[in-house]
Amino acid sequence: MLTDDHLGAIAGRLVEVPGVEAVVLGGSRARGTHHPDSDVDLGLLYTARGLDLTALRAAAAEIAGTEVEVAGPGGWGPWVDGGAWLRIDGTAVDLILRDASRVREQRDRALRGEFTVHQQTGHPLGFLDVAYAAEVAICRPLADPGGLAEVLRSGLLPYPSALRDTLIGHLWTAEFIAAGGAKVAGRGDLAFVQMCAASALLWCAHAWHAEAGEWATTEKGLVPGVAALHIDTHGFADAAAAALSLSDPAELASGALALVRATQRRLGRENRPS
């Protein structure tokens, strides 16, 4: 596992690249939930017009000791953005580009309780745009000469109450999706019912994280992560796993819908949009 000193040295080299304003540690390493074989996520906060991709490629190759393919802004999609995958002393290190102006915009939207879900390869539920705010809220700055990370996370800790209310209020969508799966369960379309059930329960998991004031950056690990929250979630994670293990479409649909409605009751949000 890479030491903090080694990561600091890597970050120090990357922040020398013109346009890279700060390098921050994200993911499980920032949260303190990592394992010895966990990947390391390094976020590169950059200025869109000033990023020197040639210099970034040279720095990445120097750090990795070999030529590295670096995707520029938007190269991995409009929201995943770009970056590179490195292997350093046996550890996978992901460089993830983040346009600082877009992070600031999503920080402001999170504070107002606004979010949008965007279609993005690699994110089956969709990319929640305020995940940018989540990333900067939980990150640990490694090289930040201008204090940019602290500026961008302003107001994000503790978790914004407006965003909590919006995500919990979004449970009507979870019920709508789950009910859609239940409506066609008798037709034998297991794939569609599974998709509806999983999507609905992922939105419930978002709501539980919001209720607990815990930032979520991706849907990966979101449902089992409910079990680790510091509030009483009434066994949601285990119940969701049990429901999603059902192979009968009718049983799966009814189980998911019942769990969504139980979540609505427990979080006090059964209202539909007007």
User: Is residue 272 one of the residues assigned to a domain?
Assistant: no
Q: Which range of residues forms the domain containing residue 56?
A: 4-152
Indicate the residue among 112, 132, 152 that finishes a domain: 152
CATH of the domain at 66: 3.30.460.10
Q: pLDDT tens for residues 44-95?
A: 999 989 999 999 999 999 999 999 999 999 999 999 999 999 999 999 999 9
Query: What's residue 38's pLDDT?
Result: 81
Question: How high does pLDDT run on average in the chain?
Answer: 95
**Exposed e or buried b for every residue in 110-138, given b needs 16+ CB within 10 A?**
bbebebeeeebeebebebbbbbbbbbbbb
The total number of structural domains in the chain stands at: 2
User: Is residue 273 one of the residues assigned to a domain?
Assistant: no
DSSP per residue, 42-101: EEEEE-TTT--HHHHHHHHHHHHTS----B-TTTT-TTT--EEEEEETTEEEEEEEEEHH
Indicate the residue among 126, 152, 178 that finishes a domain: 152
Entry field: residues in the chain = 274
pTM to 2 decimals? Answer: 0.94
User: Is residue 194 one of the residues assigned to a domain?
Assistant: yes
pLDDT surpasses 60 at 229: yes
Q: pLDDT tens for residues 3-31?
A: 999 999 999 999 999 999 999 999 888 88
Question: Is 259 found in the same domain as 175?
Answer: yes
Indicate the residue among 96, 119, 152 that finishes a domain: 152
Question: Is 234 found in the same domain as 119?
Answer: no
Q: pLDDT tens for residues 99-147?
A: 999 999 999 999 999 999 999 999 999 999 999 999 999 999 999 999 9
Structure tokens at 26: 């994200």
Question: Is 96 found in the same domain as 78?
Answer: yes
Q: If you search the block for the tokens 């670096």, which residue do you land on?
A: 70
Structure tokens at 206: 């978002």
Question: Is 180 found in the same domain as 250?
Answer: yes
Instruction: Name which of 190, 197, 194, 208 is nearest 174 in CA terms.
Output: 197
User: Is residue 78 one of the residues assigned to a domain?
Assistant: yes
